[in-house]
Amino acid sequence: MKAIVAHAAKDLRVETRDLPVAGPGDVLVQIARGGICGSDLHYYSHGGFGTIRLREPMILGHEVSGRIADIGAGVDGLERGQLVAVSPSRPCYGCSYCLEGRQNHCVNMRFYGSAMPFPHIQGAFSEYVVADPRQCVPADGLGAGEAAVAEPLAVVLHAARRAGDLMGKRVLVTGCGPIGQLAVLVARAAGAVEIVATDVTPFTLQKAQEVGADAAHNVAADTDALSPYTSGKGTFDVLFECSGVAAALAGAVPAMRPGAIVMQLGLGGDMRLPMQAMTAKELDLRGSFRFHAEFFTAVQMMQAGRLDVTPLITHAFPVDDAVAAFEMASDRTQAIKAQIAFS
């Protein structure tokens, strides 16, 4: 089978690997679509991010969907040929955090395509993957591309859950990559009365308005774009900071109301925070990391028609064009979510 393997920065190869076999309690999934995530791009462009570096060849990818190709002994509830969204999150279900219901903080987590441990956890950008049935969520009624968006959507749903009730709130989204776009969609579905987005690229800002932002501002072209929202000690009740850029957070603080919630989703490395201004406004800084139960919710919301992610899927490339796909995914002037079509 073919697999997309990162060896080092700008060294991405389509390689042949042995076809895996589903053992007892496993399922074999023939991967259909895989979305290229920001972490995949970091491995491709820089060989890692922060202190996390590639130390051996690693199959990339964790946003995938596919069809059940084989079912191991003892597995119920899934059928051959069935389309499933495959969660990349594989907690141990036995550590203290798992037992508390905080599986996203599992101390023995095996998350697809992660160079955090060594040996690395291999990813899911391959034609076939052996999975735990608990990872596989039936995606009947969805396209393979939609089902592959369940993972980033789950990331945003987890953040929205931590942010609390958004009904009637005014929401600011900084950074209009895939996560920022999904934050706009989720905030709209959750009843936000006003949603404003910022970025530095006209294409992503236009897309944010298409999916539900009331206004979108280019803070590179207009550094004072948020000034109108600063009067009366601020406008916004919730910030979804999706860029991971310190300047984006610092620029947003004056526009936040006292007591507002700052949800930090962007992971761009360590950030300097305007702590004095945040303290004076009594802002509530909350981190958000991965997801667990929200993955199932993401699929259900798409199936119910509550969220339409299809406008965010801007490109699909065959597996043999993996390098071109990664280059396109890196280009925010024309791509939101680029996917690999495996079958």
**Nearest to residue 198, comparing CAs of 179, 180, 178?**
180
Furthest-apart CA atoms within the chain: distance in Å: 64
Q: Does residue 206 sit within a domain?
A: yes
Overall average pLDDT of the 258-263 stretch:
98
Of 3, 1, 80, 28, the C-alpha closest to 340 is 3
Which domain does 172 fall in, by range?
Answer: 154-287
DSSP line for 159-200: HHHHH---TT-EEEEE--SHHHHHHHHHHHHTT-SEEEEEES
Check whether residue 187 and residue 323 sit in a common domain.
no
Average pLDDT over residues 36-65: 95
Quote the pLDDT of residue 267: 81
Count CA within 13 A, CB hemisphere, residue 122.
14
User: Is pLDDT above 80 for 269?
Assistant: no
How confident is the model at residue 45, as a pLDDT? Answer: 95
Q: What percent of the chain lies above the pLDDT cut of 70?
A: 100
Give the pLDDT mean for 254-270.
92
Please tell me whether residues 180 and 117 are part of one structural domain.
no
Tens digit of each residue's pLDDT (9 = 90 or more) over 93-111: 999 999 999 999 999 999 9
Number of domains present in the structure of the chain: 2
Under DSSP, the state recorded for 13 is E
Q: In CATH, what number is assigned to the domain containing residue 237?
A: 3.40.50.720
What's the rounded mean pLDDT across residues 2-10?
98
Q: Are residues 172 and 268 in the same domain?
A: yes
In this predicted structure, the answer to whether residue 326 has a pLDDT above a threshold of 90 is yes
Shared domain check, 313 and 282: no
pTM: 0.96
Contacts of residue 110, Cβ cutoff 8 Å, sequence gap at least 6: 90, 121
